Structure 1
Amino acid sequence: MSSDPPQSPTVAKTEVTVEGECPIFAATFAYWDNILGPRVCHIWAPRCEQPLLLSDGEVTFLANHTLNGEILRSTECGAVDVKFFVLAEKGVIIISLIFDGELKGDKNTCALSIILPQTELAFYLPLHMVCVDRLKHIIRKGRIWMQKGYNIISVLSSEIVPIMELLSSMKTHSVPEDIDIKDTILNDDDIGDGYHEDFLHKAVSSHLQTCGCSMVVGSNPDKVNKVVLTLCLFLTPAERKCSRFCKADSTFKYDTGLFVQGLLKDSMGSFVLPFRQVLYSPYPTTHIDVDINTVKQMPPCHEHTHIQRRYMRSELSVLWKVASEEDIAPDTDTGIHTDESFTPDLNVFQDVMHKDTLVKSFIDEVFMLKPGLNLRSTYLAQFLLILHRKALTLLKYIEDETQKGKKPFRSLRSLKTDLDLMVEGDLNIIMALAEKQRAGLHSFVFGKQFYTSVRERDVLMSF
């Protein structure tokens, strides 16, 4: 690093205690001052076993770098620009979210940034969208706090600290990119360790129907992690890097945005499900309890997105209506704060309603092959390839029927017949895989209007 530049006046600093190794230099909140230019307002620095050393002056210099050239920024109101800097000469990468906000009565250009060493680039990239999506929403809340003249730092800290904890946990407990099928349930001859065929079938089927997002809950960490590994077999290598094992001492909490994560129950055998974090996940989630072998899932993508957006708007509306900073805690994770027009359904997980033939046939046939050989791995790869091609075929079918979205889609019955997806579970699996390739597919096919699960089934029966 070069000699330290002069530090911005009165830079406040928060030290965040993080277990293990934290792959972050610091996080900063800066804004453009018309007199002083780029000015750092707050620094969050991790305090861990092996801290990454970076002086406050260097952090200030790097944070200033993100605001240079933003003075003429012209975007629509409320926009958040995400910028990714790789400064090889400094050996760092900077993820910066640029937005407009009011400070001391004036409109300012602000930047919320995370600074990491360049050596962590490969580790961070798969988790980029997870962090960005969470930071974007906390910025929405922060802009309201700024508009009302309150302290935005407390709001930003409510997400900066969990993200530091998330990256630290992923550094030590993330699922490897390559998984040996010998370490999973698919290597057992008798489904083993208390698992029965119906449970495994239902878990994998629901996992695929919810776009590969699942939480595995239990009291035995070995049993939980074995199911985590098994479900990760059905994910891409990049998605596995966004999945996490459970930790034996049960310190990990549910994190929004991960694909598969293992979570341990407390000493009383209970687990508190964080409603807000689950609802804010980009995709629906499957809940698997390995102690009692139950599988439940959230509603399909279009319904999940509808409820999520209503909850977000309601949460922001409550923040806007508060009369003083003391009336409501900025960290809404501790409770459900919504306006009177929206009453969320806390029972977001439902029984798996739709059976399938795709996963059922795979489970039946894969255990006919000898364990301990590469045959089961090859058969799994072939099964995933078939699912992927069916999803691509479905997308192409819808494109042709709608002239690439110019017309509404009105031939669901024909699609199910032509693509051999008459069983609802099969259709849900292929639709979920296609959704990850074309976001919004569910809303386009089923209509933008919100349908409850019962109404949706009624609509499907009418085709």
Structure 2
Amino acid sequence: MANHTLNGEILRSTECGAVDVKFFFLAEKGVIIISLIFDGELKGEKNTCALSIILPQTELAFYLPLHTVCVDRLKHIIRKGRIWMQKGYNTISVLSSEIVPIMELLSSMKTHSVPEDIDIKDTILNDDDIGDSYHEYFLHKAVSSHLQTCGCSMVVGSNPDKVNKVVLTLCLFLTPAERKCSRFCKADSTFKYDTGLFVQGLLKDSMGSFVLPFRQVLYSPYPTTHIDVDINTVKQMPPCHEHTHIQRRYMRSELSALWKAAREEDIAPDTDTGIHTESFTPDLNVFQDGMHKDTLVKSFIDEVFMLKPGLNLRSTYLAQFLLILHRKELTLLKYIEDETQKGKKPFRSLRSLKTDLDLMVEGDLNIIMALAEKQRAGLHSFVFGKQFYTSVQERDVLMSF
């Protein structure tokens, strides 16, 4: 493993802070190796280091969909590890405590991941009617917010069957690969929230409460929707560009706090508490009531329950709805490319885009923008400008066009 990992890396010349990812499939050894190569300063000298995950080759198909999730989390561990190395702290013990949650994530996904193929008969969309448990407004709001946050949602409740049914329903609107990065809740115990998953079910404790892990939610690559199936509430994080802005400020604040720690004992393990520094005090109230109404999902919910349940009609109608969203997403991307000469000019035609693509309703625009964001990372920041907008300011900007 050392030969493959460090081959050609001893004299590596990279920019400061770079992390290279290597993926090996060693059939003769029966293993796959995921290595992250980085430079670290130890006792005043620069060292080339590697952090690796070793798995049996039989787990390749299982691991591949989760590769990005694991690499993103390992990269942040390395950022913190660099600081510990430079300050001369016990890096191995600290890294081990940070890596264990990632291994627990892989273990939980092995037993409770959502299947690639979902039968609509197992979801709310197959019910004769929505009924009291899933009234129409709640289902519409949940699906709409789920799509507006790039398909990322946490479903919280006390009844595991009810939670998992909502998880399956939301996963209908994801790709097969994204479903493999989604997880059911576990009936006999509660999984913790894991950064990077698309949809995950979480159970409340015996007292009926649930502690929101602020830090892990903020470090997710996309904003998240919070759905409580006990009280039928739907709350939503700010849009992608605002989420990324807050995330980066918080990350810098966290690393700065680690660097300023005078003793190793001052560095606590990963916690969900906010880090307060002079430069940035995070707003712990990151979830707000969804205020962006749409017509796309509302029409779909209204019409899908007009079809007879138990047949393939609703599955076909769902596929048609997803195809419409996909075409609108591609059209939006092409429109912006043409208007900006593929990014060479700033985008200044939001009003024209909304009119030409029939996205005048704010929720409809947010849904298509969220789908497009997954195809072109940074699209939100490009469209709404580099200047940081809060949710309220952004809403004022949209209403002015």
TM-score (norm 1): 0.85
Matched, 1:374 2:348: no
Tell me how far 1:376 sits from its aligned partner: 0.2
In terms of mean alpha carbon deviation, does 68-77 or 329-338 score higher?
329-338
Q: Percent identity?
A: 97
Residues in 2 aligned to 1:294 and 1:415: alpha-carbon distance in whole angstroms: 32
Match of 1:235 in 2: 174
Residues in 2 aligned to 1:189 and 1:98: alpha-carbon distance in whole angstroms: 54
8 Å Cα contact 1:188-1:371 kept in structure 2: yes
Residues in 2 aligned to 1:69 and 1:274: alpha-carbon distance in whole angstroms: 40
Tell me how far 1:331 sits from its aligned partner: 2.6
Tell me how far 1:282 sits from its aligned partner: 0.2
Tell me how far 1:189 sits from its aligned partner: 1.3
8 Å Cα contact 1:225-1:245 kept in structure 2: yes
Deviations 1:386-439 (A, max 9, x none): 000000000000000001001100010000000000000000000000000000
Residues in 2 aligned to 1:385 and 1:163: alpha-carbon distance in whole angstroms: 34
8 Å Cα contact 1:274-1:333 kept in structure 2: yes
In terms of mean alpha carbon deviation, does 243-252 or 407-416 score higher?
243-252
Tell me how far 1:334 sits from its aligned partner: 5.7
Tell me how far 1:156 sits from its aligned partner: 1.5
8 Å Cα contact 1:208-1:429 kept in structure 2: yes
Matched position secondary structure for 1:112:
strand
Structure 2 residues without counterparts, runs of 5 or longer? none
Residues 335 and 342 of structure 1: CA distance in aligned 2, closer, same or farther (over 3 Å): closer
Name which one, 1 or 2, has greater alpha-carbon Rg: 1
In terms of mean alpha carbon deviation, does 96-105 or 384-393 score higher?
96-105
8 Å Cα contact 1:138-1:155 kept in structure 2: no
Tell me how far 1:69 sits from its aligned partner: 2.5
8 Å Cα contact 1:155-1:331 kept in structure 2: no
8 Å Cα contact 2:43-2:86 kept in structure 1: no
Match of 2:45 in 1: 106
TM-score (norm 2): 0.98
Tell me how far 1:159 sits from its aligned partner: 2.6
Deviations 1:303-352 (A, max 9, x none): 000000000000011111111111221434466454x2111000000101
Residues 104 and 333 of structure 1: CA distance in aligned 2, closer, same or farther (over 3 Å): farther
Residues in 2 aligned to 1:252 and 1:457: alpha-carbon distance in whole angstroms: 35
Residues in 1 aligned to 2:187 and 2:96: alpha-carbon distance in whole angstroms: 27
Deviations 1:49-85 (A, max 9, x none): xxxxxxxxxxxxx245312331111111110001101
8 Å Cα contact 2:274-2:282 kept in structure 1: no
Residues in 2 aligned to 1:169 and 1:227: alpha-carbon distance in whole angstroms: 19
Residues in 2 aligned to 1:63 and 1:275: alpha-carbon distance in whole angstroms: 37
> How many residues align structurally?
401
Residues in 2 aligned to 1:443 and 1:217: alpha-carbon distance in whole angstroms: 30
Deviations 1:263-311 (A, max 9, x none): 0000000000000000000000000000000000000000000000000
Deviations 1:78-134 (A, max 9, x none): 100011011111111000000000223321100000000111111000000000000
Matched, 1:274 2:213: yes
Structure 1 residues without counterparts, runs of 5 or longer? 1-61
Match of 1:394 in 2: 332
Matched, 1:416 2:332: no
Matches within 5 A, 1:26-425: 62-192=1-131, 194-333=133-272, 336=275, 338=277, 340-425=278-363
Residues in 1 aligned to 2:143 and 2:232: alpha-carbon distance in whole angstroms: 13
Matched position secondary structure for 1:124:
helix
Tell me how far 1:457 sits from its aligned partner: 1.2
8 Å Cα contact 1:134-1:159 kept in structure 2: no
In terms of mean alpha carbon deviation, does 347-356 or 188-197 score higher?
188-197
Q: Which has the higher contact order (CA 8 A, sep 6+)?
A: 2
Residues 193 and 65 of structure 1: CA distance in aligned 2, closer, same or farther (over 3 Å): farther
